[in-house]
Amino acid sequence: MNIESASAAPIAAASNRRNPGTALRPEMFEGHPANRSAAERRAASLIARRSVKKEWQAAWLVNAVRCIDLTTLAGDDTAERVRRLCAKARQPVAPHIVEGLGIAALKLTTGAVCVYPTMVPHAVKALEGSGVPVASVATGFPAGLMPLKLRLAEIRYAVEEGAHEIDIVITREHVLGGNWTALHHEVRAMREACGAAHLKAILATGDLQTLRNVYGASMVAMQAGADFIKTSTGKEGINATLPVSLVMIRALRDYHDATGYKVGFKPAGGMRSAKDALNWQFLMMEEMGREWLEPSLFRLGASSMLADIERQLEHFVTGRYAASSRHALA
Q: pLDDT per residue over 260-301, tens digit each? A: 999 999 999 989 999 999 999 999 999 999 999 999 999 999
Selecting among 88, 207, 227, 230, the annotated active-site residue is 230
pLDDT band of residue 158 (cuts 50, 70, 90) is very high
Banded pLDDT at 227 (limits 50, 70, 90)? very high
Task: Considering the candidates 167, 207, 227, 276, report the single residue annotated as catalytic.
Answer: 167
230 in catalytic set: yes
Q: For 51-60, 64-73, 127-136, which range has the lowest pLDDT when averaged over its residues?
A: 51-60
Annotated active-site residue 88? The verdict is no
Percent of the chain with pLDDT over 70: 93
Residue 18 vs residue 327, higher pLDDT: 18
Whole-number Å distance between alpha carbons of 110 and 65: 6
How high is the pLDDT of residue 6? Answer: 43
* Band (7; pLDDT cuts 50, 70, 90): very low
Q: Which of 69, 88, 266, 276 is catalytic?
A: 266
Q: Over 90: is that where the pLDDT of 320 sits?
A: no
Q: Are 218 and 203 in contact, with CB atoms under 8 Å apart?
A: yes
pTM (two decimals): 0.92
**pLDDT tens, position by position, 11-53:** 333 346 899 999 999 999 999 988 899 999 988 887 777 778 8
What pLDDT is recorded for position 16? Answer: 60
Per-residue pLDDT at 48? 75
Q: Domains (ranges, CATH) in the chain?
A: 26-327 (3.20.20.70)
* Per-residue confidence (pLDDT) for residue 118, from 0 to 100: 98
Model confidence band, residue 302 (pLDDT cutoffs 50, 70, 90):
confident
Q: Which residues contact 136 (CB under 8 A, 6 or more apart)?
A: 114, 115, 116, 117, 119, 120, 158, 161, 163, 165, 166, 167
Between 9 and 245, whose confidence is greater? 245
- Average pLDDT in the 110-125 region? 98
pLDDT (average), residues 320-329: 64
